């Protein structure tokens, strides 16, 4: 995966702009803890495979660290560190009582059977048990992990601790203490940000065309919810191919088939044509929603983008150089730390529910998510306009100021020089 240290560069840039203490700059310059572990897995044929895994806790000044675990062959320590840094900013931006963390195992889960994937999940939790907990670090789903994997992980942790600890992991199945609305949360949160943007632009949903790259949980749910809200979804893609229908397509049946194991390359839809995945990025649409992996848009293909706005549903889908090039062309990029924050926000709700034993219905979860996302999005866009910043710069500024306030409240170097 990407070695483009975009989170670090934007963090350094905004720290230079802000009037914050030197303590804040130093504490945000590097991760507090980076743990590498070996993850042994007994294969179905009796052989043993050992994979590399990491858990990075970047900063915990606002509370226990929070962040997902991904299974992917391209996972590296550098990538996990970048993602943990982004989570630190994201939690602060949403004013959640969390710091940022991330974890990953360098493995191709497609090569594992279901039983092998369970052994992998349990083995990784055994390896990091000593540094996680509901008051210390709370894992969650990410790329190639989901409710079932989180269920295995919370079960393994409870076995080790010899007690039920539902709040140690979020994104769990509902019968194991998961939250209603968690599966759709990332897509729903992205839709709330899109609604704020469209309202400020004076656009009605039916007048906004959207192409969605990435049709997994986040992108698929976003496409379905956006279409239900009146937006026109004209293209969707996964790694196998893309479907395009200029008059719009219905993503719901496509997403249902995708969840059953089909790929976009195998599917068709009325009035739609199969196009290449690269061609989707170059479609003339109002919004390009990026919900796949990092660096989908780089300096090499940024010039092909014709959309007026990019919605970053994935983590880091626009590289820093591409971000600068798009800004020069007037293409607005709504940043990942805001757009995909619905997932961690509902994870926070799940953490509250797990600690209290008071579980909420989907209507309450969705309502509370909206109450959090809308004002934060408005605040980001207001800050960008007032200070002449991009939406990404504004989001980082708001988040860093909250982290700085917590650091300085504990007594920074200025206090000790009095």
Give catalytic residue positions: 102
Bridge partners (DSSP) of residue 65 are 99, 137
DSSP letter for each residue of 22-89: HHHHHHTSS-SEEEEEEEEEE-TTS-EEEEEEEEEEEE-TTSSEEEEEEEETT--HHHHHHHHHHHHH
Contact assessment for residue 292 and residue 219, using Cβ atoms and an 8 Å cutoff: yes
**Phi and psi dihedrals of 40, rounded to 5?**
-80, 140
Per-residue tokens: 148: 């079932």
Cβ atoms within 10 Å, residue 384: 18
Distance CA 314, CA 10 (A): 17
Q: How many residues does the chain have?
A: 418
Distance CA 153, CA 388 (A): 45
Taking CA atoms, 274 is separated from 103, 104, 236, 244, in Å, by 36, 33, 10, 6
Strands 309-312 and 241-244: unpaired
Closest CA to 28 of 70, 64, 78, 81: 81
Strands 232-238 and 209-213: parallel
In eight-state DSSP terms, residue 369 is H
* Rounded to 5°, angle at Cα 100 from 180 and 153: 50
Closest CA to 28 of 41, 13, 44, 15: 15
- What torsion, rounded to 10 degrees, do the Cα atoms 219, 223, 229, 231 define? 120
Distance CA 58, CA 29 (A): 9
* Rounded to 5°, angle at Cα 336 from 387 and 200: 50
Closest CA to 24 of 418, 395, 283, 400: 400
Helices (H), 134-273: 147-161, 185-201, 217-228, 251-259
Cβ atoms within 10 Å, residue 199: 15
């Amino acid at each position: 995966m990407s070695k483009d240290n975009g989170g670090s560069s934007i963090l350094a840039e905004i720290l230079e702009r802000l009037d914050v203490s030197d303590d804040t700059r130093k504490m945000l310059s590097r991760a507090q803890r980076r743990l590498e572990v070996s993850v042994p897995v007994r294969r179905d044929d009796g052989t043993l495979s050992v994979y590399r895994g990491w858990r990075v806790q970047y900063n915990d000044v606002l509370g226990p660290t929070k962040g997902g675990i991904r299974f992917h062959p391209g996972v590296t320590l550098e990538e996990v560190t970048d993602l943990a840094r982004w989570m630190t900013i994201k939690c602060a931006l949403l004013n959640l009582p969390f710091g940022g963390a991330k974890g990953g195992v360098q493995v191709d889960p497609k090569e594992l059977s279901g039983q092998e994937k369970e052994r992998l999940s349990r083995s990784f939790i055994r390896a990091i048990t000593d540094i996680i907990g509901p008051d210390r670090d709370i894992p969650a789903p990410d790329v190639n992990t989901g409710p079932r994997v989180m269920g295995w992980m919370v079960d393994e942790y409870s076995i080790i601790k010899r007690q039920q600890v539902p709040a140690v992991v979020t994104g769990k199945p509902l019968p194991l203490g998961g939250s209603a609305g968690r599966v759709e949360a990332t897509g729903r949160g992205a839709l709330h940000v899109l609604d704020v943007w469209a309202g400020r632009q004076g656009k009605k949903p039916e007048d906004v065309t959207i192409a969605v790259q990435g049709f997994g949980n986040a992108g698929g749910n976003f496409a379905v919810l956006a279409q239900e809200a009146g937006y026109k979804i004209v293209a969707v893609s996964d790694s196998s191919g893309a479907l395009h229908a200029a008059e719009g397509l219905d993503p719901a049946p496509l997403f249902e088939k995708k969840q059953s194991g089909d790929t976009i390359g195998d599917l068709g839809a009325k009035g739609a044509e199969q196009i290449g995945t690269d061609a989707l990025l170059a479609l003339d649409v109002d919004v390009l929603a990026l919900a796949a992996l990092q660096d989908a848009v780089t300096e090499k293909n940024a010039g092909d983008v014709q959309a007026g706005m990019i919605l970053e549903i994935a983590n880091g889908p626009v590289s820093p150089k591409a971000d600068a090039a798009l800004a020069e062309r007037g293409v607005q990029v709504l940043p990942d730390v805001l757009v995909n924050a619905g997932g961690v926000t509902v994870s926070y709700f799940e953490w509250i529910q797990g600690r209290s034993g008071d579980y909420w219905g989907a209507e309450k979860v969705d309502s509370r998510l909206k109450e959090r996302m809308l004002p934060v999005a408005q605040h980001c866009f207001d800050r960008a306009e007032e200070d002449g910043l991009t939406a990404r710069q504004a989001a980082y500024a708001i988040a860093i100021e909250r982290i700085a306030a917590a650091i300085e409240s504990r007594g920074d170097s200025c206090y000790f020089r009095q």
